[in-house]
Each structure stands twice: as structure tokens, then as C-alpha cells.
Structure 1
């Protein structure tokens, strides 16, 4: 829902979602199937599929394509929805000499070489923000979960922020940028934080404060609409959802299914506590910032702070316990197998770990892209 300056003081209604429905958006790299460098292919791809395709969309650069779902009842339905659209995308890509890769960054693609998609909104964004926007050669996963009210969305968002390191570490897929290993598991996160309204969400007392925040930014001409708030978690009033944006693009549909299951289970579990009047554990903002950095840097090997007293534990130990606690919720939502799939990521390595193993073996960054492109295609089927 857009909010113009003319009605900046108007209420921002939250469209109630009676069930924890799902919507998923995944940004993919368009790459050359021979060199595995980025390729400016989104215009040709949308010419083939139709620029009004309901589930395949342009993004900021022409080397990016976004695939989205409709409103889905469960994880299985969301993955099936994505699979159908991705098969269309791969078929069109084969005809056009394009293929696709799932990762938060491209290891050697150069942002200076990218063309902005011919869209007035994107051009206005680049003109306004300049260098931080031009270097946004990054790819992410966004998951919407339906909630019944704006008040609930704010309460759940505040509590869910404690689990951002878990989600980021499990999804981290961006260790390489500009021909080098950055030493980070998720370089995408640090690039994105260069945008003026990206990064960790502000802690808000209630939905009224959220409305005041948005109205103030619109009136001050800091933003033109809610769409320009790119927090790691943000309420989406028009959709009636909480949108979780912390994740790098996963490299396979199987990993995506597990991440979506974890997001839905966390939102529902925290929402249940809110509805029951149970206290929601909230970490102090400086702890949230430190924990996110640790996940950015170390991925699954991060040791994160668990409470406001400074107790800490390894994510590799915390995540299995979290899965076990969420299993009753997952069983109720019908995503128990997908949630348990997170153990495969823990055992076999997240994408950033697999990419580094490939580079250690071949010493060639194109081979890294080839390997994750093959993973994505195989998982789509």
C-alpha cells in the first residue's frame, strides 16, 4: 500500500489475515550458461514470458529476475507455486541462452557493468540515493506471513528480531564479491545496510507508533511510500503480513522450503504467545546488532548472545533445539518435514560453505557459480 504526501497524516489500515498464509519472493541471478558471468537478460526474458506475468517480475538490475507466489496456505503450496513458475523461467531461459543461480551475491559480476531495468521507479531510486543504490547487486528471499492485526505484527516483529541470526546463518550464500572471498558468510547483508532505510528494524511500542513513524517519513519526504522501508523485518499493512527480508537467496528449493517453514513456525509460535498474553522475550537493540554481525561474519559457526545478561551459545547448538521446540507448531501447519530439513543444512553445509568448498577444489569462481546454478536447476526438476 502506498502512502502519498497528500494524506501523510491519515491512518494506515492493516488488512487482517485470519490465517498465517504465506507469500514468497525469490530474487535470482541471470547468468550466461557458458561463462557463468551475469547477463543482462531480464528484458528479453519478460518479453518472452510477458511483462504482465503475474509471478515473474523485473528487479533493479537487468541481471536479476524475481519470482513470486500467490497467497498460499502452507509451505508445500508455496514451493509448488514457485516450482511451476521457475520451470517456466528455465524453459524461456534455455531458449534465450540464459540460466539462473541462487545466491546472495555473484562472485565476480561487477555492479558498474549492470544496466538498470527501464522503469521510472528504479531510475528515480538510483537518482535519489546514488552510489549505495547503484551497487545493489544483491539477491534475497522475502517471506510474508499473514497476521490478524497491526498490533500483533509489531509485537511479533519485536520478538522475532532475536531469531534473525538463525535465519541469516542458515540462508547465508554470499561469501564472494568482486573476485574475492570477503571472509563473511553473508556479504549481501553488509551491502544492503548501505541503503538509508535498510537493516535491523526499529523497536516500536505498538502499531500506532509504526503509523506515526511512516507518516513522519512521508511528510518529511524521506520516503514516498512504505515500499521504501527495507528493514530485515517489516509489517506490510496492505497485504496484512509480516515480511521477513533477512535471508540471502537460497541455492535450492529444498533449502527455501526449510527456511520458509522456519519463518512461518516462528511467526505463528510468537503470535500464539502474544494472543495468550504470555511474555515475549525481547533482546536489547545493541545485542540484536551484535548478533546480526556475528551471523554475517561467521554464519553457522557464530556464537550469539542469548539473553540481556550476555549469556551466549553457538548457533550450531541452538538451531537443533529451536527445531525441536517448533515441531508441534510445524506439525499443526503441515510443514514438519520441511522444518526438519534444516538438519540437512546443518549437516551438509549452508550455501556459503558449499561455495567455499567448490572454490577450494577448483580455484575457479565460474565453477562456484556453475555448481550453485546446477543445484538450483536440479531442485526445480
Structure 2
């Protein structure tokens, strides 16, 4: 989840309520209207680790990094996160995964230069392998202090790092349809992005241990199976009347609608070790959305969610080696097979979206049985020192081939 809940200022500007492109004809509730956005546009957010260059533990340099980054003219934005050893970067609205990659690369290069000035390093990955949560400092921002007061120790334990992908939807009902179709592919996203096998210095036996921390929060998990915006507004109003929810950012669902941007937001990815992989994953989301919106291949129902938690657990635990239960048929098959079959199905949409190379990159890694969790374990097997693994991960984030 993204506690700062920021996209770039450009996105906010383009979709502000005063913009003539924003729908004003839908019924209003406390949720507000669903803004219009260009279908299949992308926005990418990455939560990143700041580590020292002595033992490669997390270091509380977010404020210094933000000060240095504010002096550089870049696309997107850089903002603080819950604790001071973290920052979040985001792109502007992008049309293709290559455009997202270009923006992420520009921001990455600036981050690296600023980190060098401070004698620290920037790293991807869903968890820091050996940081101790009780040593973390809450970043000095009112919302973070409010969350800390509410959630106690969970707030510092939430020093974990995810990638969020926004994809544009032509209208509110299409957004909900796309969201529930996308839910069948949550195990794909988890397994492809998994990069958090280590927690508190130990191998968890999970490829993505990060998501276990997310599940501790109330209102996490799946969105309710509602397919019209009118019904969703009624649901939201009921939730706000309970006093539990004040805005959409209080829902920590795996995928959630973002009406102010005219998007849905996929939130289950671990932060990859490279911006190339982050952009490719965004391309995969875009291709799936293109298929759903063009062909309407499924009719989502509540029964789709009977195996949702099981599939999600399998992907977190075993990554690409997971078992996948097909929601409509109940068939059990290797997740790897389901991913490869889906990528073949998406080939024409990848071509239309300019994402053929992105899918080829991900397909190759599935065929080779590789993800970032495997890379981290292999490095630890060779080095026997997690600090050295993080040093190499920092080099990899810079774009060096290892």
C-alpha cells in the first residue's frame, strides 16, 4: 500500500475537478465523480530503499534526498514514505511501457547522483533483508503520525516496498469491470515481481514475504464484487457512514479504483530490483486491460473469489512454481503454464500497445524460472552475507549488469 498515496503533480493537474475533461454528469456521492482519462494510459509508482554504504542497512536520509531531488527538473514526483529510510517515485501519465521506462530511468539516474553526494545508495526489492523494524523512524508528516497512532507497531513494520501501476479506464463501469477481471491475474503479478524472500535476516521461504505485512491491515485484500459505479457509490457511502472509511485511500485492496485519476491501481507488486522490470510489469498490466476492455472475455462474479486467497498465497509462497486454481473451472495447473498461455493470448494486444518487448522479457524469465527473489537467494548462497547482497542489488538498481 502507498501511505503517501501520491501520483505526480501532472496527473493531479490533468484530472483536477476544474478540467473540462472530467465527467460531471454522473450521480454524486461523498465519493465524487469518476474522472475521465485516456484508456490504457499508465502511471507507475515505486517505493525504494535508502541504505548506507557501510553495512547497507536502511538509513534515515529521506529528507536529505528529497531536498536534493527538488532541485532537479524531472518528470513525475519524488515524495516521502512512512519511515525515513524510504522514498516513493512516480511517473507522469504515460502512453506506453517504454515511455514509463524512460521516465523511471531519468528519475533513477538523478536518485543515484543525489545518493552518491550523501554517501548512501538506493535499492529496489520488496523488503530490506535485515533491517530491524523497531529502529525505524516515522517520517515527520501529519498523516504518517496519525497512522502510527492508530496502527502502533504495524506502522514501523510497514517499512516494506511496493510498486503500484495505474491504468486508465474510459468510464467508471469499465474501471470496475477491468478491476474484477484483473483480479484473476493477481498471482501472475505477485510471482513476476516477487523480491522479498528475506525478513529480519532470515529466509522466510516465501518469494514475496512483503505481502504478509500488508495483510495485517484492516480493509486489505480484495475489493467487493460490484460492477456498476452507482452500486459502488452506495457501498462507499455505507462505509463512510460507519466512520471506518473517509476516502478511497483508506481501502488497502490489492486493486482499487482511483476515481480522481480515472484509473484502477494494481498494488500487489513487490518493488523490482530494476526499473526495466518495473516498466515491463506496467506493460503487462496495460496489455491485460486492453484485452478486457476490447473483448470483455469474462463475466466477473463472486464465485471468482472462492480461490482468490489460495491463489494469492500460492504465488507469495512459491512464486513462479506456484499452483494456480482456475476460478471458473476449478482446474489446478502450474502457475507458470497459466502465465505463458496468457502471454500468448495477449500477443496482439501487446503489439497494439507497443509492449511486445515487455512481454518477451517477462516470458523469457518465466521460461527460465527466474524472478528477483531467485536472484537474491542465489547471491546470498554465493556470498553468505546479506549486506553484500544489498550492495550488489544497489549496483543492479543503478543499471549495472551483474
TM-score by length of 1: 0.93
Residue among 300, 319, 331 paired with 1:299? 319
**In the alignment, which residue of structure 2 is the partner of 1:280?**
299
Residue among 55, 58, 83 paired with 1:61? 83
Could you tell me which runs of 5 or more consecutive residues in structure 1 were left unpaired when the two chains were aligned. Answer: 3-7
**In the alignment, which residue of structure 2 is the partner of 1:206?**
228
Which aligned pairs between 1:101-120 and structure 2 lie closer than 5 A? 101-120=123-142
Residue among 346, 365, 371 paired with 1:350? 371
Report deviation, 1:348: 6.1
- Residue 365 of structure 1 pairs with residue 383 of structure 2: no
**In the alignment, which residue of structure 1 is the partner of 2:34?**
14
**Within 2, Cα distance between the matches of 1:68 and 1:155?**
25
Q: Which stretch shows the higher mean deviation, 162-171 or 200-209?
A: 200-209
Report deviation, 1:375: 1.2
Secondary structure at the residue paired with 1:112?
Answer: helix
**Within 1, Cα distance between the matches of 2:267 and 2:31?**
25
Secondary structure at the residue paired with 2:45?
Answer: strand
**Within 2, Cα distance between the matches of 1:251 and 1:262?**
17
Q: Deviations over 1:234-257 (max 9, x none)?
A: 110000001111100011122112
Q: Is the 8 A contact 1:287 1:308 kept in 2?
A: no
**In the alignment, which residue of structure 2 is the partner of 1:50?**
70
**In the alignment, which residue of structure 2 is the partner of 1:144?**
166
- Residue 221 of structure 1 pairs with residue 243 of structure 2: yes
> How many equivalent pairs are there?
372
With over 3 angstroms needed to count, the CA separation of the structure-2 counterparts of 1:187 and 1:11, relative to structure 1, is closer
**Within 1, Cα distance between the matches of 2:179 and 2:268?**
12
Residue among 110, 132, 138 paired with 1:88? 110
Q: Is the 8 A contact 1:28 1:249 kept in 2?
A: yes
**In the alignment, which residue of structure 2 is the partner of 1:24?**
44
Residue among 142, 161, 180 paired with 2:202? 180
Secondary structure at the residue paired with 1:378?
Answer: coil
With over 3 angstroms needed to count, the CA separation of the structure-2 counterparts of 1:344 and 1:36, relative to structure 1, is farther
**In the alignment, which residue of structure 1 is the partner of 2:56?**
36
**Within 2, Cα distance between the matches of 1:336 and 1:378?**
22
**Within 2, Cα distance between the matches of 1:92 and 1:176?**
27
Report deviation, 1:210: 2.0
Secondary structure at the residue paired with 1:234?
Answer: strand
**In the alignment, which residue of structure 2 is the partner of 1:338?**
358
Q: Is the 8 A contact 1:143 1:244 kept in 2?
A: yes
Q: Is the 8 A contact 2:77 2:90 kept in 1?
A: yes
Secondary structure at the residue paired with 1:284?
Answer: helix
**Within 1, Cα distance between the matches of 2:46 and 2:227?**
31
**Within 1, Cα distance between the matches of 2:364 and 2:43?**
24
**In the alignment, which residue of structure 2 is the partner of 1:230?**
252
**Within 2, Cα distance between the matches of 1:121 and 1:343?**
40
CA-atom RMSD, angstroms? Answer: 2.0
**Within 2, Cα distance between the matches of 1:73 and 1:285?**
31
Q: Is the 8 A contact 1:173 1:251 kept in 2?
A: yes
With over 3 angstroms needed to count, the CA separation of the structure-2 counterparts of 1:279 and 1:177, relative to structure 1, is closer
**Within 1, Cα distance between the matches of 2:110 and 2:212?**
32
Q: Is the 8 A contact 2:50 2:86 kept in 1?
A: yes
**Within 1, Cα distance between the matches of 2:393 and 2:222?**
28
Q: Is the 8 A contact 1:171 1:248 kept in 2?
A: yes
With over 3 angstroms needed to count, the CA separation of the structure-2 counterparts of 1:113 and 1:264, relative to structure 1, is same
**Within 1, Cα distance between the matches of 2:31 and 2:257?**
15
**In the alignment, which residue of structure 1 is the partner of 2:337?**
317
Q: Which stretch shows the higher mean deviation, 120-129 or 196-205?
A: 196-205
**Within 1, Cα distance between the matches of 2:316 and 2:178?**
23
Q: Is the 8 A contact 1:253 1:379 kept in 2?
A: no
Q: Is the 8 A contact 2:31 2:236 kept in 1?
A: no
With over 3 angstroms needed to count, the CA separation of the structure-2 counterparts of 1:72 and 1:88, relative to structure 1, is same
